Homo-oligomer: A and B are copies of this chain.
């Protein structure tokens, strides 16, 4: 199959920042693309060969879009899986597959899958609704504290709560959920796995999420993670096993906990390029977006090693700022060594909205960490108003 400067068309469901960064790679290789997104101002509108505005959850929209392309992928999980299944049954290649996506979209199903596949994960219970959850507490089948997760629709920390007592139950929404055992952990880690239809698999180095000491928020994604090699190897092995269990094609970001006794537990996965892999654009021999394209097109996978250490800082909208965005002091961070800002192209900022990210690379990860802190203290995402 010839993808380069050819008539082959890759369809991408979702036109946000992940799609936008994927388009750098399709442009680099002159692969024709068509993107579907509900917003007329989607970051992917520019740089795609074709752009279509439409609802990703609507069966007909996704189905009709899929019929016009040669291979379909997605940059967001909230898409109509029935349409993907029908497309697959009619011969359109969809990577990752509809079956993989079904196993991942619902967190209850995802956890059950780990259990069946003997993939280490924290103990959990499934509940069809809040009523069932309450009953389990009353019957003392479920004990405080625990981690509550909505089965569907969770994203960027939404749909997850630590439940310490009965009071914390009240604000939870109705609907299917899981309750996970709260396990103290040393580190939150992630490994990106690439797998192509021929079964070639490669894992990226382990990254570490460093949390703010007070606010419970990821501040830095650090590659390589500052952990023992034996733990890193174990994490990469587990991630590989997860990818193979799903028979996943494309990129799979596997988020994991390193427990107090150095066990690795799978938290959850994302079947696409991931925030935890953004560092790879500047730091890796093959960045995650190129790797995703290689994987879904069944091309040989690229080297996942890093050229240099990399740290990623998210650029999120400042509190109390709504309106046309201004990246205050961006020229100041451009003076710093090895600093690359990525601006996603969202015109309006809102508190905590992901507006971009900054990568800091350096041969010395300790030095990179210092510069990352200076970046975080300097740049501000505010409103021009």
Contact = CB atoms under 8 A, between A and B. Distances in A.
A144 interface: no
Interface string A13-31: 0000000100110011110
B300 A334 contact: yes
Interface in A303-333: 303, 307-308, 325-327, 330-331
Contacts of A49: 46
A47 B30 contact: no
Given A27-B46, A30-B343, A47-B27, A300 B331 contact: yes
Contact of A338 (B4, B303, B330, B361): B303
A241 interface: no
A334 B294 CA distance: 9
Contacts of A48: 46
A344 B5 CA distance: 9
A157 B302 CA distance: 35
Interface of A: prevailing SS: loop
A337 to B, nearest CB: 6
B299 A334 contact: yes
A374 to B, nearest CB: 14
Contacts of A2: 326-327, 384
Given A24-B27, A285-B361, A4 B346 contact: no
A29 B339 CA distance: 13
Nearest to A27: B47
Contacts of A54: none
A75 to B, nearest CB: 15
A342 interface: yes
A363 B342 CA distance: 26
> What 10 pairs across the A-B complex have the smallest Cβ distances?
A30-B345, A47-B47, A300-B335, A30-B343, A307-B307, A300-B334, A4-B327, A307-B308, A4-B343, A29-B343
Interface of A: 2, 4-5, 20, 23-24, 27-30, 43, 46-49, 285, 290, 294, 299-300, 302-303, 307-308, 325-327, 330-331, 334-335, 337-338, 340-347, 361, 363, 384
20 contacts: A2-B384, A4-B343, A5-B325, A5-B343, A5-B347, A20-B27, A24-B28, A28-B340, A28-B342, A29-B343, A46-B46, A46-B47, A46-B48, A46-B49, A285-B361, A299-B331, A300-B335, A302-B334, A303-B338, A307-B308
